[in-house]
Amino acid sequence: MAKVSVPLSNHFCPQTLFLFGTYKEDGTPNFGLFCWFSYCWDGELGVMACIGGEKLTKDRIRATGVFSANLVTEAMLPVADYLGVTSGYSPGKMDIGLEVVPGEVLQVPLLADSPWSFELEVKQTIPLDDSDVFLCKIRNVMADEALADKNRPVEERFRLAAPALTTHQTYFSAGNPLGVWGQWEKLK
């Protein structure tokens, strides 16, 4: 296969989508859509999450040191896209009827519709020029019972989870295109 140089991008590095959950100062939940999320090892499995720019989610993570990361599924994609393109500072952003449950271990909001949710505690923050990288300890994982059933083949559990991915400003699941960023109304 011949290779050519292309402009700098991450266009063909698919990322799994997560809705990061925090509580606002008034105790109401806030969720933002992020994909710069991966795993690390420091004596135990951990998470690293990068958030660029100034966002309410990042403000609240800095203030509390905790947040949730809720896997986005195909079915959740319209609401996830809306939450990703609507600023957390916008009044009424969260007035959309999401079913939110409290974390089991940390004071973080979890999305009832997400089949896999992490409760995360920030161990270290690495400030960059326009971003922060949060290195986190996983304090709890809340999973749909079907995904936790080790008697089911992993392929079946993956299909049940139906995670949404993104690359090249387009949403995918199982390699099938689902729509482009910012068109949450068309994704319904």
Q: Token pair 């140089």 is at which residue?
A: 5
Which positions ≥6 away from 63 have C-beta within 8 Å?
25
pLDDT on residue 63: 98
pLDDT reported for residue 180: 86
pLDDT of residue 184: 74
Please give the pLDDT value at position 172: 86
Q: What is the pLDDT of residues 109-145, one digit of tens each?
A: 999 999 999 999 999 999 999 999 999 999 999 999 9
Q: Identify the pLDDT of residue 188.
A: 63
Q: Is residue 103 exposed (0-12), middle (13-18) or buried (19+ Cβ within 10 Å)?
A: buried
Helix, strand, coil share (%) of the chain residues, nearest 5: 20, 40, 40
Task: With a cut of 50, list the residues of the chain below it in pLDDT.
Answer: none
pLDDT value, residue 187: 66
